[in-house]
Structure 1
Amino acid sequence: MVELEAPQLDAVFHALGDATRRRMLRDLTQGERSVGDLAQPFAMSLAAASKHVKVLERAGLLQRRVQGRTHLCRLDPGALATAHEWISFYERFWTSRLDVLEGLLRKEDAQKPSGDTHD
Protein backbone atom coordinates (compact mmCIF):
# COMPACT_ATOMS: atom_id res chain seq x y z
CA MET A 1 0.00 0.00 0.00
CA VAL A 2 1.20 3.48 -0.76
CA GLU A 3 1.85 5.38 2.41
CA LEU A 4 1.64 9.13 2.34
CA GLU A 5 2.79 11.05 5.33
CA ALA A 6 -0.30 12.09 7.25
CA PRO A 7 0.15 15.86 6.74
CA GLN A 8 0.43 15.46 2.95
CA LEU A 9 -2.57 13.15 2.77
CA ASP A 10 -4.54 15.46 5.04
CA ALA A 11 -3.66 18.44 2.82
CA VAL A 12 -4.82 16.63 -0.33
CA PHE A 13 -8.15 15.58 1.14
CA HIS A 14 -8.66 19.00 2.74
CA ALA A 15 -8.08 20.64 -0.65
CA LEU A 16 -10.44 18.22 -2.38
CA GLY A 17 -13.08 18.73 0.32
CA ASP A 18 -14.08 22.10 -1.14
CA ALA A 19 -16.28 22.28 -4.25
CA THR A 20 -14.65 25.50 -5.47
CA ARG A 21 -11.20 23.92 -5.39
CA ARG A 22 -12.46 20.76 -7.11
CA ARG A 23 -13.89 22.92 -9.90
CA MET A 24 -10.60 24.80 -10.18
CA LEU A 25 -8.75 21.51 -10.57
CA ARG A 26 -11.24 20.37 -13.19
CA ASP A 27 -10.72 23.62 -15.10
CA LEU A 28 -6.96 23.06 -14.97
CA THR A 29 -7.37 19.75 -16.80
CA GLN A 30 -8.01 21.91 -19.89
CA GLY A 31 -4.62 23.59 -19.51
CA GLU A 32 -2.85 26.37 -17.72
CA ARG A 33 -5.08 29.11 -16.26
CA SER A 34 -4.47 32.41 -14.51
CA VAL A 35 -5.81 32.94 -11.01
CA GLY A 36 -8.29 35.38 -12.56
CA ASP A 37 -9.48 32.71 -14.98
CA LEU A 38 -9.96 30.30 -12.08
CA ALA A 39 -11.90 32.93 -10.11
CA GLN A 40 -14.22 33.91 -12.97
CA PRO A 41 -16.86 31.10 -12.72
CA PHE A 42 -17.37 31.96 -9.05
CA ALA A 43 -17.51 35.75 -9.30
CA MET A 44 -14.98 35.90 -6.48
CA SER A 45 -12.17 38.33 -5.86
CA LEU A 46 -8.61 37.57 -6.90
CA ALA A 47 -7.69 37.51 -3.21
CA ALA A 48 -10.28 34.82 -2.47
CA ALA A 49 -9.23 32.79 -5.51
CA SER A 50 -5.60 33.14 -4.49
CA LYS A 51 -6.40 31.61 -1.09
CA HIS A 52 -7.93 28.58 -2.81
CA VAL A 53 -4.92 28.34 -5.13
CA LYS A 54 -2.57 28.39 -2.13
CA VAL A 55 -4.44 25.48 -0.53
CA LEU A 56 -4.18 23.51 -3.78
CA GLU A 57 -0.52 24.44 -4.13
CA ARG A 58 0.35 23.37 -0.55
CA ALA A 59 -1.39 20.05 -1.21
CA GLY A 60 0.79 19.56 -4.29
CA LEU A 61 -2.20 19.56 -6.63
CA LEU A 62 -1.10 22.51 -8.76
CA GLN A 63 1.99 24.46 -9.61
CA ARG A 64 2.02 28.21 -9.96
CA ARG A 65 4.41 30.41 -11.90
CA VAL A 66 4.54 34.16 -12.15
CA GLN A 67 4.69 35.84 -15.56
CA GLY A 68 4.86 39.57 -15.02
CA ARG A 69 1.91 40.37 -12.77
CA THR A 70 -0.02 37.27 -13.78
CA HIS A 71 0.03 34.11 -11.70
CA LEU A 72 -0.42 31.07 -13.96
CA CYS A 73 -1.49 27.72 -12.56
CA ARG A 74 -1.24 24.24 -13.97
CA LEU A 75 -2.45 20.90 -12.66
CA ASP A 76 0.11 18.69 -10.94
CA PRO A 77 -1.55 15.26 -10.99
CA GLY A 78 1.05 13.49 -8.83
CA ALA A 79 -0.74 14.10 -5.54
CA LEU A 80 -4.05 13.02 -7.07
CA ALA A 81 -2.52 9.78 -8.33
CA THR A 82 -1.04 9.04 -4.92
CA ALA A 83 -4.34 9.79 -3.16
CA HIS A 84 -6.08 7.52 -5.67
CA GLU A 85 -3.67 4.72 -4.78
CA TRP A 86 -4.44 5.25 -1.09
CA ILE A 87 -8.19 5.06 -1.77
CA SER A 88 -7.71 2.02 -4.02
CA PHE A 89 -6.29 0.06 -1.10
CA TYR A 90 -9.63 0.39 0.68
CA GLU A 91 -11.55 -0.32 -2.49
CA ARG A 92 -9.68 -3.62 -2.81
CA PHE A 93 -10.33 -4.36 0.88
CA TRP A 94 -14.09 -3.84 0.55
CA THR A 95 -14.27 -5.70 -2.75
CA SER A 96 -12.61 -8.72 -1.16
CA ARG A 97 -14.97 -8.56 1.84
CA LEU A 98 -17.99 -8.37 -0.46
CA ASP A 99 -16.65 -11.33 -2.47
CA VAL A 100 -16.50 -13.36 0.76
CA LEU A 101 -20.07 -12.34 1.61
CA GLU A 102 -21.26 -13.29 -1.87
CA GLY A 103 -19.62 -16.70 -1.51
CA LEU A 104 -21.33 -17.28 1.83
CA LEU A 105 -24.72 -16.28 0.44
CA ARG A 106 -24.30 -18.55 -2.59
CA LYS A 107 -23.31 -21.42 -0.30
CA GLU A 108 -26.35 -20.76 1.88
CA ASP A 109 -28.63 -20.67 -1.18
CA ALA A 110 -27.16 -23.95 -2.44
CA GLN A 111 -27.90 -25.62 0.90
CA LYS A 112 -31.59 -24.65 0.85
CA PRO A 113 -34.02 -27.41 -0.16
CA SER A 114 -35.09 -26.93 -3.78
CA GLY A 115 -38.80 -26.64 -2.87
CA ASP A 116 -38.17 -23.83 -0.34
CA THR A 117 -39.50 -20.56 -1.78
CA HIS A 118 -39.47 -18.56 1.46
CA ASP A 119 -36.92 -15.77 2.00
Structure 2
Amino acid sequence: MREVLDRWKAAVDDHDPARVAALFTEDAIFQGLHPYSVGRRGVADYYDSQPPGMTAEYRVLETRRPADGLVLGYLDVGFSFTDRPTLDVKLAVLVRRAGDDWRIAHYQVSRLT
Protein backbone atom coordinates (compact mmCIF):
# COMPACT_ATOMS: atom_id res chain seq x y z
CA MET A 1 0.00 0.00 0.00
CA ARG A 2 2.73 2.48 0.93
CA GLU A 3 4.45 1.98 -2.42
CA VAL A 4 1.38 3.03 -4.43
CA LEU A 5 0.55 5.82 -1.96
CA ASP A 6 4.12 7.17 -2.13
CA ARG A 7 3.80 7.31 -5.93
CA TRP A 8 0.37 8.98 -5.56
CA LYS A 9 1.84 11.59 -3.20
CA ALA A 10 4.76 12.29 -5.55
CA ALA A 11 2.43 12.74 -8.53
CA VAL A 12 0.08 15.00 -6.53
CA ASP A 13 3.02 17.06 -5.27
CA ASP A 14 4.32 17.41 -8.86
CA HIS A 15 0.83 18.45 -10.08
CA ASP A 16 0.92 15.64 -12.67
CA PRO A 17 -2.73 14.56 -13.15
CA ALA A 18 -1.90 11.92 -15.79
CA ARG A 19 0.62 10.27 -13.47
CA VAL A 20 -1.89 10.32 -10.60
CA ALA A 21 -4.57 8.75 -12.80
CA ALA A 22 -2.19 6.01 -13.98
CA LEU A 23 -2.07 4.74 -10.38
CA PHE A 24 -5.79 3.90 -10.52
CA THR A 25 -7.55 0.95 -12.12
CA GLU A 26 -9.41 1.57 -15.37
CA ASP A 27 -12.73 1.22 -13.51
CA ALA A 28 -11.75 2.94 -10.25
CA ILE A 29 -14.49 4.55 -8.19
CA PHE A 30 -13.16 7.97 -7.22
CA GLN A 31 -14.74 10.29 -4.65
CA GLY A 32 -12.73 13.40 -3.88
CA LEU A 33 -14.45 16.51 -2.55
CA HIS A 34 -16.36 16.94 -5.83
CA PRO A 35 -18.98 14.61 -7.35
CA TYR A 36 -17.70 11.09 -7.85
CA SER A 37 -16.40 9.63 -11.09
CA VAL A 38 -15.49 6.22 -12.43
CA GLY A 39 -12.26 5.60 -14.29
CA ARG A 40 -8.93 7.29 -14.84
CA ARG A 41 -10.31 10.22 -16.87
CA GLY A 42 -12.28 11.47 -13.87
CA VAL A 43 -9.23 11.11 -11.61
CA ALA A 44 -7.07 13.09 -14.05
CA ASP A 45 -9.73 15.80 -14.41
CA TYR A 46 -10.08 16.10 -10.63
CA TYR A 47 -6.35 16.49 -10.01
CA ASP A 48 -5.97 18.81 -12.99
CA SER A 49 -8.50 21.12 -11.28
CA GLN A 50 -6.36 21.32 -8.13
CA PRO A 51 -4.22 24.43 -7.67
CA PRO A 52 -0.52 24.29 -8.51
CA GLY A 53 1.53 24.01 -5.35
CA MET A 54 -0.91 21.69 -3.60
CA THR A 55 0.92 18.88 -1.80
CA ALA A 56 -0.19 15.85 0.20
CA GLU A 57 1.05 14.26 3.40
CA TYR A 58 -0.48 11.01 4.56
CA ARG A 59 -0.41 8.68 7.53
CA VAL A 60 -1.83 5.17 7.36
CA LEU A 61 -4.13 4.56 10.33
CA GLU A 62 -5.40 1.05 9.54
CA THR A 63 -5.06 -1.62 6.88
CA ARG A 64 -6.96 -4.82 6.24
CA ARG A 65 -6.60 -7.59 3.67
CA PRO A 66 -10.18 -8.60 2.79
CA ALA A 67 -8.96 -11.04 0.10
CA ASP A 68 -5.84 -12.06 -1.77
CA GLY A 69 -4.63 -9.18 -3.91
CA LEU A 70 -6.69 -6.55 -2.06
CA VAL A 71 -5.66 -4.13 0.68
CA LEU A 72 -8.06 -1.71 2.32
CA GLY A 73 -6.51 1.37 3.92
CA TYR A 74 -7.79 4.16 6.12
CA LEU A 75 -5.60 7.27 6.28
CA ASP A 76 -5.19 10.78 7.59
CA VAL A 77 -4.27 13.10 4.71
CA GLY A 78 -3.30 16.75 4.83
CA PHE A 79 -3.52 18.67 1.56
CA SER A 80 -1.39 21.82 1.82
CA PHE A 81 -1.80 24.89 -0.37
CA THR A 82 0.28 27.98 -1.05
CA ASP A 83 -2.56 30.41 -0.29
CA ARG A 84 -4.77 28.82 2.39
CA PRO A 85 -4.66 26.53 5.41
CA THR A 86 -4.05 22.80 5.13
CA LEU A 87 -7.16 20.72 4.46
CA ASP A 88 -7.19 17.67 6.75
CA VAL A 89 -9.28 14.74 5.56
CA LYS A 90 -9.79 11.02 6.05
CA LEU A 91 -9.14 8.82 3.05
CA ALA A 92 -10.28 5.26 2.46
CA VAL A 93 -8.61 3.39 -0.40
CA LEU A 94 -8.91 -0.09 -1.78
CA VAL A 95 -5.71 -1.14 -3.52
CA ARG A 96 -5.81 -4.09 -5.92
CA ARG A 97 -2.95 -6.16 -7.33
CA ALA A 98 -2.63 -5.76 -11.09
CA GLY A 99 0.05 -8.18 -12.31
CA ASP A 100 3.27 -7.23 -10.54
CA ASP A 101 1.93 -3.82 -9.54
CA TRP A 102 -0.80 -2.36 -7.35
CA ARG A 103 -3.51 0.08 -8.43
CA ILE A 104 -6.12 2.08 -6.52
CA ALA A 105 -9.58 0.63 -7.24
CA HIS A 106 -11.58 2.78 -4.81
CA TYR A 107 -10.78 6.20 -3.29
CA GLN A 108 -13.10 8.08 -0.96
CA VAL A 109 -12.34 11.28 0.93
CA SER A 110 -14.26 12.49 3.96
CA ARG A 111 -13.86 15.69 5.93
CA LEU A 112 -14.36 13.84 9.23
CA THR A 113 -11.64 14.69 11.73
Name the structure with the higher strand share.
2
**Which of the pair has more CA radius of gyration?**
1
**TM bin (shorter chain):** under 0.3
Q: Which has the higher helix share?
A: 1
TM-score (norm 1): 0.26
